Structure 1
Amino acid sequence: MMTCMKFWFRLAVLSSCFAGAWAQSATSSADTPKKPSALDAVLFYQILLGELNVREGSAGSGFSIMLDAARKTRDPALFQRAVDIALQARSGEAALQAAQTWKKELPQALEPNRYILQILLALNRIEEAGHALTSSLNELPLSEQTAAIISVPGVFGRVQDKILAATVVEKALQKALTQPQTTASAWTTIGRMRRDAGQIPQAVEAAVKGHGADPQAQGPLVLSLSLISNASSTLKPMLDAAMKKEASAPLRLGYVRSLIGLQLIPDALAQLSLLNNKFPDFADGWLVHGLLLFENNRSLDATKSLETYIQLTAQSKDTEQLVGRVEALVALSKMAQRQGQIEKAKFWLTQMPANADPLKLASRQADLLTQQGQLEQARMTLAQVKTNTAEQALKKNLAQSLWLRENGLAPEAYLLVKNALTTSPNNAELQIELALICEKLKKYEEMETLLRQLMLSNPKEPHAFNALGYSLADRNLRLDEARQLINKAVELSPQDPFIQDSLGWVAFRQGEHLQALQILRAAYKIRPDAEIAAHLGEVLWTIGQTQEATAIWREGLQLKADNETLQETLKRLKIKP
């Protein structure tokens, strides 16, 4: 029973992903010879008898009668009906027999190729499917082969043995690799298959070869974007060179996102400037540019970019651009608030789309009210947000807890999160939030218990390791253990600037001041943040670079004047920057 069910599941998936990509190729006029104007009585009776057998539950007899009629007439419609009957009866071998007979009787027909390949894959006969793929591609007109080749990873996507699938497909594409029109697409498909099989070096090699075969082809470049984190030294120069040519706006933006993922922020900003200049009407480029400038504390330039995005999308009804408008307006409001322009900050919030996330809007309003000293109103603004789903309720609890924790109401945050955990006891975000509250309340044993439980249940969750490691380092306790925990967090999330901040801070606690300075400088460059500024400033102050320390602290105050770590650092060192 299980084997039969697996076959039908695979076949259903393969059929859905394959049919659309090859539909055009499968409708060649060579597939369908003219039908006779009328069936003779004997043949008509035979077809009718076959259908009656199927209806009465004798699918095997109906299949045999229909396939015999198809052979006699060489009618593609009857061959297809025979295949369908076998599929409905869940007989993969019979379906394969019918499709192969169809191909034998009508060698020029393309449609049976599709069925043969689908059925072989569903039967997990991968090497035979490779031979069928080779035949199918060879029979297609050269002009249609590229589209078919591009569809292959989706066709083979459900194969369990990814390495075998990649090897079989690469063998099937050998002829395509020798044809200039299809070389780039063939290497792209091979690269995708190798990547999905975990064979990263081979995938990178395929991307490079595909680009070398046709520098204008998009496929190898898109493949490179998915691999750049594994081979940036090889792929980044290639992508940089491609971006100097006529690359499309979406491809350029994809490269920018890859650079941001690698924390190559200056490179990402440079590419965004080129993108905005070459495609001034491409709204998404202005949004990403503005948000990245905002995160790097370049408010003036960020404001210009985000206002451009708002103008370009003023009449847009596109769902993604409406979400983008919300992000842009929130950032504009935050920048105005930083500059003390409270009314301007409020104005940006009045421009929110009607379907904007109410919690995101309420959080921003609460932040403004808090700065104005209207704490009770700020608290009520968050409390009054209505939620309709469990996910929305979770986000509301986290937003409320964060506000309570940051505004001297940690005991109430503790009760709130404890209550939320009764309905979502295994939620990692709630567990980490409770651990942070426990640290603020000096419930260190409970905090450590929570975080260690989270490490066991979610061993790939970097923030649990980082939170405990940082807490130990900040309290100057068990520093070797703290460093091990933070190193584990770095291993899990090497580009996270806040985890790098923890690494720099534990190095400082261990007396490695120059190493701490190097790590914290890099973290602050990636993400200007008040807490990182507090730590970087203290390291600079300790090694005697007091002027730079004071300048960094001033920047931190501009970023978030009420940051608790920064304020505590200045108070402890008796500094007024």
Structure 2
Amino acid sequence: MPLRATLLGYPLSLLGFPFLPLATTLLLSGCQLSPSFNNGGSEALTRDPMLSAPPITRGLDAAGLRTLLAAELAGQRGDYRLAGQGYLEAAKRYNTPALAERATFAARFGSDIALMEASALRWRELAPQAELPNRLLATLSLQRGDWLDSLEQRLAITQADGNGEIAAFSEVAVAEEAPLSLLIQPLRAFIDQPSAQQYEFYADALLGAALIEAALGNTRLAQQHLDQVAQREPESASLWLAKARLALEAKDHRGAQRAAQRGLRLAPDDVRFILMLAQAEIRLNNIAAAEEQTNALLDSHGGNEELRIALAQLYLEEGHDAPAFRLLQPLIGQPVVPDLAYYLLGAIAQSQDEVDNALLYYRQVRNGSEFLPARAAAARMLIDHDRLLDARAMLRIERMRHDAYFDQLVMLEIQLLDELSLYEDATNLLNREITRTPDDTSLLYLRAMRAWEMGDFDGMEQDLSHILRIEPDHANALNALGYTLADLNVPGRLEEARDLIERAYEADPNNPAILDSMGWVYFRLGKTEEALAWLESAYAQMPDQEIGAHLAEVLHTLGRSDEARQLIERILLRVNHHPQIDDLLERHPELTPPSTP
């Protein structure tokens, strides 16, 4: 079982654990890596970021000139959000792609995700053959977890003879457990087109499809795609990387070894082949050969510290502690030992049942993204050895040692107690700490959410109101109270709910949860058309099942039931847990998609 599944016992994404596939990093940095968004080096920090945007060349009327002048002046003074809004308004008025592109630039530098997406959509509408807006939209979709939309943008790039990076996307999708059964459908449709083979990057789409088909267990189809790529591009390094990866997944370790060796001959400097070959050797139990590969890789990179740690992780994930320890050992004598190294050393000691040594290593993690996972691992280890009191004492001491992590450590202990069904102990701990620090808004918010889970609306409102007396612009508290009032449809309090949510929106205008609340309170107030606009914006940024359920209900109320059913069908294909959709279908069974069993 992989390391991430055994060390902590719950998803590392919840703890901020810093392990993401390289492809994820590259894909998510698409905005920064695209030529139009990166001027390069330190010069980009000092130059006017709008200099490289396209010039305005069309004639204007008075209103248009006023809009553009306001946008230009806003950009010059660094108010890129206002500048982007002005350029987008002008792009809608004059149907000029250059204006939409300029709006996208401004939104990018203003870090306004919603405005950037709206501008890129307008840019694509005005310039359907332009690659950059599709690439940007694909990146934004991936960032918010809308895998299907991201793939569709990439396929559009491929159809325009650009590189949609579909193979890299598929690699991330498989690693992150995306809805593969949903993603394979447009890929199959694209590949089956009679004209598809004419596209320059058709082989990239085949490789992406092969990776997803293999992950779905369709090995025959995956192999067919790889055979097609081999006919078109037999010397493609990407082909042999995919072959090696698929062989590893199929437990054909010899095949993976041969494919990695072939790829290494084609691309001797590609570290992915060295890692793949090392992984194949490890699974063949050729540890000496694997260490030869990883040592050569280290030597070629000057003993790089980060690479050393990454290789140690590789051995640990494959269940080989000794070579992992040998890789980490040189770091122990350094003046400053990386926190991740201490974390991994703790994991090694824990796997060898050296509880006290593991505890020492875990507690030497000083800060950063490994701090909480290390304390969680230490506490769980003690609990697993029937030492709950020691675990709680350790966490109490850590709270005194690390004041910056006080709230998170309290929350961690509460979570552990809840998992042990010690709900009363968890509640007592939370109440005790709030008594000691009565204005701690993080703990008050946690208690409010626990009250809501237990159906105690009065207790929830009391704590949220206390937070708002301390921090009147606390966006989460404003939104939580406003949304709950709207969702419960509390008589006589819907206007109050709207006021709270509007204040939350003023404090955090780009938060999709708040946009969802705005839509929902307008729906409760009977303003269905206004609700639709807010919910569509929220769902575009965060396509989760709760927002989707709200949007589907509003569409149904507006007489657009077919669209609501299509939306529900896509959500049911994408996620396994969908309580809000289930509740909606129970109230409106006529919205059940035909394909639902």
* TM class, shorter-length: 0.3 to 0.5
| TM-score normalised by the chain length of structure 1 | 0.45
Structure number with the bigger relative contact order (C-alpha 8 A, sep ≥ 6) is: 2
TM-score for the superposition, normalised by structure 2 = 0.44
